[in-house]
Amino acid sequence: MEPIQLHQVKKAFNQGRPNEFWAIRGVDLTIQPHRATVLKGPSGSGKTTLLSMIGCLSRPTSGRITRGEQLLSGLPERFMTEIRRRTFGFIFQQFNLIKGLSVLENVMLPAYPLGPDHAQLSRSALELLHQFGLGTKAESRVEWLSGGEAQRTAICRALINDPEILIADEPTANLDSRLSREFMAIVDGLKQTGKTILLTSHDPVVFDSPVVDRVVEMSDGQIMDPSCC
Amino acid sequence: MKAFIRKQRYLIDFTLSSLLRRPGKNLGLLVVYSLIVFLLASVMLFTHALRSEARLVLADSPEIILQRMVAGRHDLIPGSYLEKMGRIRGVIGKHGRLWGYFYDPAVQANYTLMVPRDRQLAEDEAVIGAAIARTRGVSRGDFLTFRSTDGNAYSFRVSAILASDSELVSADLILVSEQRFRTFFGIPEGYYTDLVLNVRNPKELRKVAEKLTLRLPDTRPILRDEILRTYDAIFNWRQGIVFVLLTGTILAFVIFAWDKASGLSAEERREIGILKAIGWETSDVIRMKFWEGAIISLSAFLLGYLTAYGHVFYANAGLFEPVLKGWSVLYPEFRLTPFIDGLQLATLFFFTVFPYTVATIVPIWRAAITDPDTVMR
């Protein structure tokens, strides 16, 4: 598996308008595979923006993001989606589960565009749910879940397409410290299976965790200690 | 190919569960949508069936009717015109007809009085249409009394009631004897309301009509095709009137549907963002929403059309009967022959299903092309 490399990545919002804002101001970074990396920093430091560009959710205004020989930034939408679907699994701060659907349906959703065999897909989804202690909740609606259960559902959803890289944005922001520690234990388990983990957080439970291999500190859209990267 | 079909099934599956997640909103839309299709389809099916019915009924009517004109008005025609017109090639039969209208103040309805050729009636005898029997509350053996224009009252003994399968044209019909007809309306012997001619070859109709105009310049030949055209025009006009009345309802629906279809709620936008973030392509989202629009509009179309079919052919189109059939007091009671016109069906489909489906796609496309990172914020 190749590392992800960022070269002078910049991102502006409302470019050319009076309210133009540069959220990322020239970041060079290498993310090593099979490691857990945390982007740490206060709100507005650019962690989420950087994470979304690495995860092919948005494109940089300038600079390049590559994975080995493959250019991730600047690809047409269709290819970006394809890479996003197969390479990355996302766990969002608000979990972003779709209300009204069951836990099982939510977990299966990312696989729908690939058109896999239904029996096989539900089997994989149920296996994941059992693995994360949600086997009995498969048919429950997601709005009935506790915070920890919702997050584990989000993790199962992120893993359904078996991605190489797992991206989590402020994963413990809505969890108490016990659940936060549980989450880090899950991250540890995933790392053991060879996944690359990329997190953003300003929670000490996350960045002080022994599971984390590297902490990249950010401020005002830049990396505070570029020599570390 | 298998994966493609499975993908479509997943999308439809997701769409159905999306629809069920907002049952109130979608059910409301389905009901209103079906109602519009029902109203439009009812009018279309009903007028079309009436036109077909009229064609069937007129199939047995004479090919040419000859009326005498005086000062541009229809007048009585002398029986001597039958000889005066002479022998015209192609005409296989000709005779005079006696018929007229009578206004019955008791029920404020117009009757059509006619002398039948296929049955002999006694002077005081009458055969009446089913609608008259219903309205006047009479049955076989009862008497009907009318006051004629000369002030005298004439009683008719009802000897039979016309079969209801021909009620579209016989609802207001009274068949009386020739003698009583002449006395009642004061029509002298040897005069008729009009003359009718039977022509075997339809291609000769125009030529026969032309000869009649030349030989009897004070007459006007009316061809059966012209009557059919008039019927068509009348039913089209009535259909038009109903459509105009429905315009308000349709417009209200269009606004409602456009609002529902074009305005995405914050929740729907959020969902689109999530789907894109977890790996759905813009085209997947659009396809999913296309299925949503298609499922709603197709269900509404089927539901509305089938209800309209039942309404027209099994419930006698109770809602539109007064406007579309046209009898003011004596409504015919008869069951229309089910008849569906493919072109009409396609037109209704195109104007109901197509616009809605398109209306759902445009805003979705706008929402779906935005960057998926909005869900991260």
The count of domains in chain B is 2
The rounded Cα A216 to chain-centroid distance in angstroms is 15
Residue B33: closest CA among B227, B256, B235, B274: B256
> What is the arithmetic mean of pLDDT over B203-211?
87
Domain end among B222, B249, B264: B222
Least reliable range by pLDDT among B122-136, B146-160, B172-186, B309-323:
B309-323
Contact A155, A164 (CB under 8 A): no
User: Does B211 share its domain with B82?
Assistant: yes
Distance (Å, rounded) from C-alpha A83 to C-alpha B371?
Answer: 15
Q: Which residues contact B22 (CB under 8 A, 6 or more apart)?
A: A100
User: Does B50 share its domain with B95?
Assistant: no
Distance (Å, rounded) from C-alpha B144 to C-alpha B125?
Answer: 10
- Interchain proximity B10–A112, CB inside 8 Å: yes
Distance (Å, rounded) from C-alpha B308 to C-alpha A36?
Answer: 64
- Interchain proximity A81–B7, CB inside 8 Å: no
Domain end among B222, B249, B272: B222
Confidence check: pLDDT of B256 > 60: yes
Q: Which residues contact A86 (CB under 8 A, 6 or more apart)?
A: A161, A163, B279
SS3 category, B173: strand
Residue B125: closest CA among B112, B113, B135, B107: B113
Domain end among B222, B238, B260: B222
Of B21, B277, B377, which has the smallest distance from its Cβ to A90's Cβ? B277
User: Does B188 share its domain with B286?
Assistant: no
User: Does B106 share its domain with B208?
Assistant: yes
What's the pLDDT at B169? 65
A66 touches chain B (CB under 8 A): no
The residue ranking higher by pLDDT, A200 or B240, is: A200
User: Does B85 share its domain with B211?
Assistant: yes
Contacts of A85 in chain B (CB under 8 A): 278-279
Distance (Å, rounded) from C-alpha A104 to C-alpha B95?
Answer: 83
Distance (Å, rounded) from C-alpha B209 to C-alpha B231?
Answer: 21
The residue ranking higher by pLDDT, A43 or B165, is: A43
User: Does B136 share its domain with B42?
Assistant: no
Contacts of B276 in chain A (CB under 8 A): 81
How high is the mean pLDDT of chain A? Answer: 91
Contact A24, A71 (CB under 8 A): no
Residue A66: closest CA among A116, A5, A14: A5
What's the pLDDT at B250? 72
> What is the arithmetic mean of pLDDT over A71-99?
88
What's the pLDDT at B166? 59
Q: What CATH number belongs to A4-228?
A: 3.40.50.300
Outline where chain B has alpha helix (H): 2-21, 23-58, 81-84, 130-136, 167-170, 178-185, 205-215, 224-262, 266-277, 282-313, 321-325, 342-368
User: Does B371 share its domain with B301?
Assistant: yes
**pTM across the whole model:** 0.67
Distance (Å, rounded) from C-alpha A168 to C-alpha A89?
Answer: 8
Residue A215 banded pLDDT, cuts 50, 70, 90: very high
Amino acid, single-letter form, for residue B166: S
Q: What is the pLDDT of residues B271-306, one digit of tens each?
A: 888 888 888 888 888 888 888 888 888 999 999 999
Distance (Å, rounded) from C-alpha A51 to C-alpha A200?
Answer: 8
Contacts of B23 in chain A (CB under 8 A): none
Contact A212, A183 (CB under 8 A): no
Confidence check: pLDDT of B228 > 80: no
Distance (Å, rounded) from C-alpha A155 to C-alpha A184?
Answer: 12
Q: What is the pLDDT of residues A22-39, one digit of tens each?
A: 999 999 999 999 999 999
What's the pLDDT at B195? 92
Residue B90: closest CA among B61, B65, B64, B57: B64
Tell me which range, B20-24, B53-57, B316-320, is most confidently predicted by mean pLDDT. Answer: B20-24
Strand partners, B104: B109
Which residue matches tokens 């005066």?
A: B84
Q: Which residues contact B35 (CB under 8 A, 6 or more apart)?
A: B304
For residue B106, give the CATH number of its domain.
2.40.40.20
What's the pLDDT at B330? 47
Residue-level length of chain B = 377
Residue B7 banded pLDDT, cuts 50, 70, 90: confident
> What is the arithmetic mean of pLDDT over A190-207?
92
Residue B265 banded pLDDT, cuts 50, 70, 90: confident
Contacts of B1 in chain A (CB under 8 A): none
Strand partners, A219: A222
Tell me which range, A98-107, B19-28, B315-324, is most confidently predicted by mean pLDDT. Answer: A98-107
Residue B226 banded pLDDT, cuts 50, 70, 90: confident
Q: What is the pLDDT of residues A117-151, one digit of tens each?
A: 999 999 999 999 998 999 999 999 999 999 889 99
Distance (Å, rounded) from C-alpha B37 to C-alpha A118?
Answer: 36
**Range(s) of the domain holding residue B358:** 2-58+230-376
What's the pLDDT at B119? 83
Amino acid, single-letter form, for residue B357: T
Confidence check: pLDDT of B186 > 60: yes
- Interchain proximity A115–B6, CB inside 8 Å: yes
The residue of chain B nearest to residue A114, with distances taken between CA atoms, is B7
Contact B156, B173 (CB under 8 A): no
Residue B257 banded pLDDT, cuts 50, 70, 90: low
The residue of chain B nearest to residue A200, with distances taken between CA atoms, is B376
> What is the arithmetic mean of pLDDT over A145-170?
93
What's the pLDDT at A221? 92
A96 touches chain B (CB under 8 A): yes
- Give, for A178, the enclosing helix (H) or strand (E): helix A177-192
A120 touches chain B (CB under 8 A): no
Give, as one character, the DSSP assignment of residue A102.
Answer: B
